[in-house]
């Protein structure tokens, strides 16, 4: 949990001709806020970093994050992201998503959403070595 934007940074730096879009939860970002500074310093032009903010650590049972009022877009701006957006209205996000995705990165956007129902996970399926191999093969084809 919480390594998705670090992996996205590696993919962006390793594949500068690809557009990398990272979709991360707010709890995952809180696991290591320092990655905002690292991503901003590396300044990958092909990285779009989207954070879904619902105020919970979804992956471990939906526990509340310590401060659900945190403004991640402000934190990203302070870290040095040249573009940081915040959306709480789906219609406005749909209207502006194309522009956000086309901006030169790193680009950051917070997507405010409602909490979901308690999730269940099929961990054996999620961590199946065959799935990892399939992902690796797909990345190599790109």
More confident residue, 57 or 33: 33
pTM of the model: 0.84
Superfamily assignment of 4-141 in CATH? Thiamin diphosphate (ThDP)-binding fold, Pyr/PP domains (3.40.50.970)
pLDDT at residue number 2: 78
Candidates 73, 35, 37; CA nearest to 53 is 73
CB neighbours of 38 closer than 8 A, spacing ≥ 6? 6, 9
pLDDT digits (tens, 9 = 90+) for 6-27: 999 999 999 999 999 999 999 9
SS3 64: strand
* 82-88: long-range pairs with CB below 8 Å, 24+: 82/43, 82/106, 82/107, 83/107, 83/108, 84/108, 84/109, 85/109, 85/110, 86/110, 86/112, 87/111, 87/112, 88/112
Please choose, from the candidates 67, 65, 58, 66, the residue with its C-alpha nearest in 3D space to the C-alpha of residue 118. 58
The domain segmentation of the chain, as residue ranges, is 4-141
The residues near 114 (Cβ < 8 Å, ≥ 6 apart) are 54
Mean pLDDT of 84-93: 96
| pLDDT value at residue 130 | 92
- Is pLDDT larger for residue 47 or for residue 2? 47
């Amino acid at each position: 949990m919480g390594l998705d934007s670090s992996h996205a940074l590696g993919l962006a730096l390793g594949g500068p001709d690809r557009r990398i879009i990272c979709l991360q939860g707010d709890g995952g970002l809180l696991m290591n806020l320092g990655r905002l500074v690292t991503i901003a310093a590396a300044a990958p032009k092909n990285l779009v970093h989207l954070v879904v903010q619902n105020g919970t650590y979804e992956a471990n049972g939906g526990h509340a994050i310590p401060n659900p009022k945190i403004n991640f877009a402000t934190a990203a701006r302070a870290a040095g992201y040249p573009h940081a957006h915040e959306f709480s209205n789906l219609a406005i996000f749909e209207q502006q998503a194309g522009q956000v995705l086309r901006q030169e990165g790193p680009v950051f956007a917070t997507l405010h959403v409602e909490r979901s129902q308690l999730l269940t996970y099929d961990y054996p399926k999620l961590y199946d070595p065959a799935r990892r191999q399939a992902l690796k093969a797909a990345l190599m084809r790109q």
